[in-house]
Structure 1
Amino acid sequence: MSQAYDPRRTAVLLVDPYNDFLSEGGKVWPRVESVARQVGLLDHLRSVIASARQAGVQVVFVPHRRWEPGDYESWDHPNPTQRAIMDRHSFARGTWGGEFHPDFQPQPGDVVVSEHWAQSGFANTDLDFQLKQHGITHVVLVGLLANTCIESTGRFAMELGYHVTLVRDATAAYTPEMMHAAHDLNGPTFAHTVTTTDDLTTAFTET
């Protein structure tokens, strides 16, 4: 892997690491479980986050809006995902499903940005502001889902001038076809690098 990551300029964006997505018993886990197990999602997320912290790379939590009673109900046109959240109560605030997975808890020095309402971690949040205040130019995206929040956040990052890295085995989606679209069809149109956990963590140790 030729890409070098200056730890002073690089952040790993951990998107939506909720129990509802990542844990047995989570509301959305049954939909991602097959792909998540196939790619080794949890172990790869653990590896990326641990190696980032060891290398001094900034870790940034990019959480989805935690559902609360009344969310979206008075909106003019909530999107299909928001309608599903309204029905399913995904990531409900104050519940186990709306808590971060126990292996992915913010540590001193990590940044937790404001919650995004839709798919991009940048839209209507302080993510861009926080990254700029920390001197970040390169972002590495991991978490859920590959073809929605990861892709939308990555595209927005590119538009704002960041160098974007996708990690194909540190994310998941509902189907292999969605993963293929995210990494082989759409990803190369906006990401500067599409890589694997092993190559990324090797690059981190070489910084």
Structure 2
Amino acid sequence: MVTSLDKKTALVLIDLQKGIMQFPIAKPVNEILEKAAALVSAFHKANLPVVVVNVDPTKSLLNTLRTDANAKFTSFPDEWFEIAPEIKTIESDIFITKHTWNAFTNPNLDIELKKRGITGIVLAGISTSVGVEGTARAASEYGYNITFAEDAIADTNADAHEHSIKRIFPRLGEVDEVDKIIDALSAR
């Protein structure tokens, strides 16, 4: 349950890109995108930062370090990296490309947040147990207060999603629905 949001809170969206949307997501993708879009709109209205993260696994060190062929990513069409059109970005949004599970491995994420005095983040996106959880663990280590938008997060594996939502995320921050997070955003 969200109790409050920091005055300086940013929305961080993880991997809501066309290529990821092609995976078999355990929740309806259109619902995730609708909830994420509502958060984007609310953060824009509140004049708070929106961080849009996409993943490019082709530049991951795992491609050179791992020997199993299933772990290697070599190329994707350009549109694979494009953010889903339902997410209405604006020029002042922060765009970050990550190459691993954790968006903070791109040092620009922490730099951009610190530059704006951000102390809290709201996390949403795909995949719950990979990109969202990886980023959340790092955000916790960096000292950010974290709120998870439960109904704007999904995974390809329903059991992994439930484990992250019920067991991991409550240890890192607060978990609630988008509507309640938007209410807390208005009340801050």
TM over 0.5: yes
Q: Which of 91, 94, 109 is equivalent to 1:108? A: 91
Please name the residue that 1:52 is paired with. Answer: 43
Deviation, 1:3, is 2.6
Relative to 1, partners in 2 of residues 1:102 and 1:119: Cα closer, same or farther, differing over 3 Å?
A: same
1:35–1:175 Cα contact (<8 Å) kept = no
- Which shows bigger deviation, 117-126 or 148-157? 117-126
TM-score by length of 1: 0.80
Deviation, 1:52, is 1.2
After TM superposition, the structure 1 = structure 2 runs for residues 142-161 of structure 1, keeping only pairs within 5 Å, are 142-161=124-143
2:54–2:81 Cα contact (<8 Å) kept = no
After TM superposition, the structure 1 = structure 2 runs for residues 125-136 of structure 1, keeping only pairs within 5 Å, are 125-136=107-118
Q: Which runs of 5+ in 1 are unaligned?
A: none
Relative to 1, partners in 2 of residues 1:73 and 1:116: Cα closer, same or farther, differing over 3 Å?
A: closer
Question: In the aligned structure 1, how far is the partner of 2:89 from the partner of 2:34?
Answer: 17
Measured on the aligned residues, the alpha-carbon RMSD in Å equals 2.5
Give, as a single letter, the amino acid of the residue that structure 2 aligns with 1:194: V
Taking only the aligned residue pairs, the percentage that are identical comes to: 22
After TM superposition, the structure 1 = structure 2 runs for residues 17-166 of structure 1, keeping only pairs within 5 Å, are 17-22=16-21, 26=22, 28=23, 31-32=24-25, 34-37=26-29, 40-65=31-56, 67=58, 75-77=64-66, 83=71, 85-86=73-74, 89=75, 92=76, 95-113=78-96, 115-166=97-148
Question: In the aligned structure 2, how far is the partner of 1:165 from the partner of 1:79?
Answer: 36
Deviation, 1:85, is 3.8
Question: In the aligned structure 2, how far is the partner of 1:84 from the partner of 1:195?
Answer: 35
Please name the residue that 1:194 is paired with. Answer: 175
Greater fraction helix: 2
Relative to 1, partners in 2 of residues 1:159 and 1:74: Cα closer, same or farther, differing over 3 Å?
A: closer
SS of 2:101's partner is: coil
Question: In the aligned structure 2, how far is the partner of 1:187 from the partner of 1:130?
Answer: 24
Q: Which runs of 5+ in 2 are unaligned?
A: none
Which 4+ stretches in 1 moved above 6 angstroms? none
Please name the residue that 2:5 is paired with. Answer: 5
Please name the residue that 1:177 is paired with. Answer: 159
**Count of matched residue pairs:** 188
Deviation, 1:75, is 0.7
